[in-house]
Structure 1
Amino acid sequence: MEISGIIGAIVIGIVIGTLGRLVLPGRQRIGVLWTIAVGIVAALVGTALAAALGVADTKGIDWIEWLIQIGLAAAGVAALERSRARG
């Protein structure tokens, strides 16, 4: 993987993770690095899921792919917060 790919994944992770946190009500008590990590994982899994569904490569903006990624990020942030609250 090239450095531009790594930087792109971090930027996408920040955006997806932040949007995932904004979707959830209330305050989430996880750090910025965890948000980025959840966002990167959600972006990768969301892209694979969108490709499997056949909605990843459309003309223009891939809104369905973005919605899948944001939904996965919200689920990831909620799961991480729950697991950290128990510990």
Structure 2
Amino acid sequence: MSAQPIINLRPDYKVADINLAEWGHKEIAIAETEMPGLMQLRQEYANEQPLKDARIAGCLHMTVQTAVLIETLVALGAEVRWSS
């Protein structure tokens, strides 16, 4: 008996209402202007990828501020998994 990879055709995430995506992107853009520290980190270190090979998991209420944090971690090279 050989080990076969498990193929899951369903996504491992759930979007409550995809119709709100455009609004959410606008809210995230507003939050980015209110979080200059994270934006500065992205600007200074994105090319260096200091979090490359880092695997970060989190469980926190999903807010636009949380989204900015997650996007910053990804921009710095981390592999991020999140639940809320």
TM-score over 0.5 for the alignment?
no
Question: TM-score when scaled to structure 2?
Answer: 0.32
Identify the structure with bigger relative contact order (alpha carbons < 8 Å, sequence gap 6+). Answer: 1
Q: Which has the higher strand share?
A: 2
Q: Which has the higher helix share?
A: 1
